[in-house]
């Protein structure tokens, strides 16, 4: 059964909110809009419909994520600097916002596998750290973050001069936070290619 017909059968009427700054105002014509009209959710919906904008406010937008810790950015930078593995790899924080973190890593031959592609373990490492810090940005002051689990899909050989892991919080909870990260290979001409994606769960440890 088609997605539209199925919603009609169960009596659901998903309207696009007027308050979504990336959507459009609801009316009978644009209740269902193709995903190309919503670039902020394009990668989340294989069916081609916006699942976020059915709500009163677009939850995928970072401006709707309120950090509980006013100094989250400084705390993330301090925590990142204390990670020996990030220093070993040569990775750096390139973006820190509420619910969103990017980690950038220049390609090095000593981080490659036998074919010269960036090693899958390195890709998973920067994606995991990006996920952890994206979750950490929404946790209370004095908390710590640890990974509970994650799954990585390696989509193509990791080629590029630079790699960027961009993580965004999907759902922030009191204890567990679900995060998604995409890892891009960036060539010399600035072309970006998606090489891997991760979904992980992070736990908030509160210091007593």
Structure tokens at 89: 């790899």
Our count of domains for the chain comes to 2
Residues 97 and 183 both lie in one domain: yes
Q: Which of 6, 31, 64 is the last residue of a domain?
A: 64
Structural domain contains residue 114: yes
Residue 122, Ramachandran bin (φ over 0: left; ψ between -120 and 50: alpha; else beta): alpha
Mind listing the pLDDT tens digit for each residue in 90-131?
999 999 999 999 999 999 999 999 999 999 999 999 999 999
Structural domain contains residue 1: no
Flag whether pLDDT at 85 surpasses 60. Answer: yes
What is the side-by-side order of every strand in the sheet holding 192-206? 92-97, 100-106, 162-172, 176-186, 192-206, 143-154
- State the CATH number of the domain containing residue 193: 3.10.129.10
Quick check: 23 and 50 in contact, CB under 8 A? yes
Structural domain of residue 90, as residue ranges?
Answer: 72-206
Mind listing the pLDDT tens digit for each residue in 124-178?
999 999 999 999 999 999 999 999 999 999 999 999 999 999 999 999 999 999 9
Q: What is the pTM of this model?
A: 0.71
Flag whether pLDDT at 32 surpasses 50. Answer: no
Percent of all residues in the chain with a pLDDT value above 70, rounded to a whole number = 69
> Quick one: DSSP state of residue 108?
-
Residues 98 and 28 both lie in one domain: no
Flag whether pLDDT at 16 surpasses 80. Answer: no
Structural domain contains residue 115: yes
Angle between helices 72-81 and 120-136 (to 10 degrees): 150
Residues 82 and 34 both lie in one domain: no
Model pLDDT, residue 147? 97
Structural domain contains residue 9: no
Secondary element (H or E) of residue 5: helix 3-9
Model pLDDT, residue 50? 41
Mean pLDDT score, 38-50: 40
């Amino acid at each position: 059964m088609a997605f539209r017909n199925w919603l009609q059968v169960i009596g659901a009427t998903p309207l696009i909110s007027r308050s979504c700054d990336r959507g459009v105002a609801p009316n009978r014509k644009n209740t269902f809009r193709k995903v190309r009209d919503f670039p902020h959710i394009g990668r989340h919906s294989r069916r081609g419909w916006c699942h976020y904008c059915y709500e009163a406010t677009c939850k995928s937008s970072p401006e709707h994520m309120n950090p509980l810790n006013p100094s989250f950015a400084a705390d993330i930078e301090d925590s990142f600097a204390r990670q020996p593995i990030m220093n070993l790899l040569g990775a750096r924080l390139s973006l820190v916002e509420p619910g969103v973190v990017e980690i950038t890593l220049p390609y090095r031959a000593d981080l490659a596998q036998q074919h010269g592609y960036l090693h899958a373990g390195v890709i998973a490492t920067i994606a995991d750290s990006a996920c952890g810090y994206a979750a950490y940005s929404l946790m209370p002051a004095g908390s710590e973050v640890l990974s509970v689990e994650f799954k990585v899909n390696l989509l193509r050989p990791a080629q590029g001069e630079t790699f960027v892991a961009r993580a965004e919080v999907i759902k922030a909870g009191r204890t567990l936070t679900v995060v998604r990260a995409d890892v891009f290979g960036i060539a010399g001409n600035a072309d970006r290619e998606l090489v891997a994606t991760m979904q992980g769960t992070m736990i908030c440890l509160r210091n007593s």
